[in-house]
């Protein structure tokens, strides 16, 4: 017979035999014999599935190797994507190559593993096993909204959204060791032609040198990376609260998030008044039973204690909503971090990654926040770093790591206040020169903060950053003469649009905010176009007076932000002479 077998590469023989018809058991046994033998060549196009169905103990354990030496990958949620099926297939191939002197693996997969921080241990491990690694990045990542370098369309070679890469792993002692990278951009057909018609040796291979801490499998400025790695990561600056946490996940925003305090109360009262779960699910889009139980929620909410827990929540940039601080309403509350924002406090919000987006991912809040307050892309979630911590007795302490505090006090021979430090960090993260210089690094991990040699430069940036923070908290709204609400109508948001020639932001045919310059209308925080997002989320609703005033305030604050960022940039460039 032709020696081709049906098998699940990732599972041992017994689980597969139990699932198959008796006549296929022999097929499984023969396939297992092949899998147990030394293999010299492995080729494949494995499935890409972050929510893997191959979660048996053998498959799960196989990728534990990729966490060794990286404690952060063992923390809850951090190593999730290592369970993707294609990662397990690569690990299977690697283990087979570990058992032979020479071998080759050729595989096409999701290309995320080339530079995503989660796969740093995987990249390091593969470099230890193989003598030569060649990766051809075919790009085409619609999720990242990838564009070709010339600004044109970048198409996938498959009918999928996830970008892909071809990887060739070679184990042969005596070869020149290293990692080589090449890439293809643009239309699908030219990519096909390049893959079929090009000789391997004539591809535009660039030898790269993956280094700690991320071991990236793509070209980048190693000297700049080494310099950037010397800066303080925000996760290390605010270490005492523990690992950073993203905003809360209610699991059912339609029920748990409200436009007013009264609406939040009404929703819970309506849920408690239902007679059965079917009725409740007709009222609200409630989450699955695995995370939330209707009977338990109704029983606990009947007591009424939740009425004292109705709190504001930052839902989107400058969009404050209401929720009930109770796990029967907002299921995943990230209490380790969020409880500190129920008292007087302020927190920096930034993202660990900015997939498919340019870094604009910094906000500030004095309230709890929702997980996608920064971006609709879940990979770019907003993580919160409170400035202060509160113990059970209500005692306040600064949330600054001891090592960082010692470093800063010695650097400037002066103990700056937590507010001054946060103001400085906020300024740096808003400096266009900083964002441009370190764009590659800001895309893949938490921001790192440089500190100037001169205390005077620190103080100048700190003052500018603190002033910007007060504006973003809407505590001090700078008068810019923008966003006056005009026209007659019923205040319903029908179709938000910006009329550039008029500098007017219309909510319907007759009512608008003006003047609103184009640069204010187009201003983004994180992945959101701020004013557009605020109004589109209210489409079909009648704006309240508070919401009208908020749009006016935000228009003025955004104009101030644009000007303040220019001032920050000048101070930043003076402080570092573009060396930081």
Q: Does residue 11 have a pLDDT over 70?
A: no
Q: Using 50, 70 and 90 to split pLDDT, how confident is the model at 2?
A: very low
At residue 112, the pLDDT reads 93
How far does CA 297 lie from the centroid of its chain? Answer: 31
Do the beta carbons of residue 331 and residue 287 sit within 8 Å?
yes
DSSP string, 415-437: ---HHHHHHHHHHHHT-HHHHHH
At residue 17, the pLDDT reads 46
**Strand 103-110 to 41-44 pairing:** parallel
Q: Does residue 265 have a pLDDT over 90?
A: yes
> Token digits for 398?
């600064």
Q: What are phi and psi of 525, to 5 degrees?
A: -120, 125
Give the C-alpha separation, 44 to 42, whole Å: 7
| pLDDT tens digits, 221-255 | 888 988 999 999 999 999 766 678 999 999 999 99
Helices (H), 475-529: 518-521
Closest by Cα among 106, 96, 107 to 129: 96
Do the beta carbons of residue 557 and residue 474 sit within 8 Å?
yes
Give the C-alpha separation, 283 to 530, whole Å: 30
Percent of the chain with pLDDT over 70: 91
| pLDDT tens digits, 27-63 | 566 666 665 667 688 998 888 876 667 667 777 888 9
Residues 59-75 have a mean pLDDT of 87
Residues 409-433 have a mean pLDDT of 98
Give the C-alpha separation, 506 to 494, whole Å: 9
How far does CA 114 lie from the centroid of its chain? Answer: 17
Give the C-alpha separation, 551 to 51, whole Å: 40
Q: Does residue 26 have a pLDDT over 70?
A: no
Residue 574, CA atoms < 13 Å, CB-side half-sphere: 14
Better pLDDT: 370 or 5: 370
- CATH dotted code for 38-219: 3.40.50
At residue 578, the pLDDT reads 62
At residue 290, the pLDDT reads 82
Do the beta carbons of residue 142 and residue 102 sit within 8 Å?
no
Closest by Cα among 309, 365, 369 to 333: 369
Domain with CATH 3.40.50 in the chain: 38-219
Do the beta carbons of residue 496 and residue 456 sit within 8 Å?
no
Q: Which residue is listed with tokens 């053998």?
A: 58
Residues 290-300 have a mean pLDDT of 93
Surface-to-core class of residue 452, CB atoms within 10 Å of its CB (0-12 exposed, 13-18 middle, 19+ buried) = buried
At residue 24, the pLDDT reads 56
Q: Which residues contact 283 (CB under 8 A, 6 or more apart)?
A: 270, 271, 274
Give the C-alpha separation, 19 to 16, whole Å: 5
Do the beta carbons of residue 213 and residue 226 sit within 8 Å?
no
In what helix (H) or strand (E) does residue 103 lie, and over which residues does it extend?
Answer: strand 103-110
3-state secondary structure of 405: helix
At residue 55, the pLDDT reads 65
- Residue 353: beta bridge partners? none
> Token digits for 414?
């002066």
Give the C-alpha separation, 87 to 94, whole Å: 10
- Three-state SS string across 189-236, please? HHHHHHHHHCCHHHCCCEEECCCCCCCCCCCCCHHHHHHHHCCEEHHH
At residue 419, the pLDDT reads 99
Q: Does residue 7 have a pLDDT over 80?
A: no
Percent of the chain with pLDDT over 90: 78
At residue 81, the pLDDT reads 86
Give the C-alpha separation, 523 to 332, whole Å: 31
At residue 468, the pLDDT reads 99
Cβ-based neighbour number of residue 382 at 10 Å: 27
DSSP annotation of 30 reads H
Surface-to-core class of residue 20, CB atoms within 10 Å of its CB (0-12 exposed, 13-18 middle, 19+ buried) = middle
Cis amide linkage into residue 315, ω under 30° from 0: no
Do the beta carbons of residue 336 and residue 242 sit within 8 Å?
yes
At residue 16, the pLDDT reads 46
Residues 545-566 have a mean pLDDT of 98
| pLDDT tens digits, 140-184 | 998 878 889 998 999 999 999 999 999 999 999 999 999 999 999
Give the C-alpha separation, 313 to 324, whole Å: 9
Q: Does residue 359 have a pLDDT over 80?
A: yes
**Length of the chain measured in residues:** 580
At residue 411, the pLDDT reads 98
Q: Does residue 384 have a pLDDT over 50?
A: yes
- Residue 319: beta bridge partners? 316
Closest by Cα among 43, 1, 47, 5 to 25: 5
Q: Does residue 326 have a pLDDT over 70?
A: yes
Lowest mean pLDDT among 21-35, 345-359, 413-427, 446-460: 21-35
Residues 95-119 have a mean pLDDT of 94
């Amino acid at each position: 017979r032709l020696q081709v077998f049906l098998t699940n590469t990732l599972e041992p023989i017994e689980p597969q035999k139990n699932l198959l018809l008796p006549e296929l058991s022999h097929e499984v046994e023969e396939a297992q014999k092949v899998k147990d033998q030394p293999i010299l060549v492995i080729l494949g196009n494995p499935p890409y599935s972050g929510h893997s169905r191959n979660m048996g103990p053998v498959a799960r354990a196989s990728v534990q190797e990729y966490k060794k030496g990286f404690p952060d990958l063992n923390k809850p949620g951090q190593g999730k994507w290592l369970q993707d099926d294609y990662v397990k297939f690569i690990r299977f191939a690697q283990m087979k190559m570990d058992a032979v002197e020479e071998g080759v693996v050729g595989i096409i997969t999701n290309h995320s593993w080339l530079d995503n921080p989660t796969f740093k241990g995987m990249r390091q491990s593969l470099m230890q096993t193989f003598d030569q690694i060649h990766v051809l990045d075919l790009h085409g990542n619609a999720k990242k909204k990838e564009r070709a370098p010339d600004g044109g369309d970048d198409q996938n070679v498959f009918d999928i959204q996830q970008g892909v890469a071809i990887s060739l792993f070679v184990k042969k002692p005596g070869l020149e060791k290293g990692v080589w990278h090449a890439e293809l951009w643009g239309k699908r057909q030219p990519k096909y032609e390049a893959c079929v018609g090009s000789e391997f040796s004539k591809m535009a291979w660039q030898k790269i040198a993956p280094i700690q801490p991320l071991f990236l499998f793509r070209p980048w400025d190693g000297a700049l990376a080494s310099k950037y790695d010397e800066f303080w990561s925000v996760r290390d600056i605010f270490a005492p609260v523990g690992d950073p946490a993203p905003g809360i996940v209610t699991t059912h925003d339609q029920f748990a998030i409200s436009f007013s305090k009264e609406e939040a109360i009404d929703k819970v009262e309506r849920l408690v008044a239902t007679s059965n779960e079917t009725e409740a699910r007709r009222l609200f889009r409630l989450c699955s039973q695995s995370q939330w139980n209707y009977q338990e929620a109704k029983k606990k909410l009947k007591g009424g204690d939740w009425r004292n827990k109705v709190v504001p929540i930052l839902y989107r940039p400058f969009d404050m909503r209401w929720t009930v601080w109770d796990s029967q309403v907002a299921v995943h509350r990230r209490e380790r971090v969020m409880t500190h924002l129920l008292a007087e406090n302020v927190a920096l919000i930034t993202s660990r990654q900015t997939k498919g987006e340019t870094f604009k991912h910094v906000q500030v809040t004095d309230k709890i926040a929702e997980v996608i307050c920064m971006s609709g892309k879940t990979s770019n979630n907003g993580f919160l770093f409170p400035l202060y911590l509160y113990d059970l007795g209500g005692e306040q302490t600064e949330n600054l790591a001891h090592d960082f505090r010692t470093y800063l006090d010695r650097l400037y021979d002066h103990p700056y206040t937590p507010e001054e430090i946060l103001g400085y960090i906020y300024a740096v993260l808003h400096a266009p020169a900083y964002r441009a210089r370190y764009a590659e690094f800001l895309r893949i991990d938490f921001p790192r903060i440089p500190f100037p040699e001169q205390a005077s430069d620190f103080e100048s940036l700190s003052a500018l950053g603190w002033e910007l923070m007060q504006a973003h908290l809407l505590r001090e709204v700078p008068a810019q003469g923008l966003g006056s609400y005009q026209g007659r109508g019923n205040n319903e948001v029908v179709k938000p649009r910006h009329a550039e020639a008029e500098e007017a932001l219309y909510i319907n045919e007759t009512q608008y905010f003006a003047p609103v310059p184009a640069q204010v209308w187009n201003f983004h925080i994180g992945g959101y176009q701020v004013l557009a997002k605020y109004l589109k989320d209210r489409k079909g609703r009648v704006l309240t007076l508070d919401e009208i005033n908020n749009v006016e305030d935000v228009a003025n604050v955004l104009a101030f932000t644009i000007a303040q960022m220019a001032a920050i940039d000048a101070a930043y460039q003076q402080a570092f002479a573009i060396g930081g």
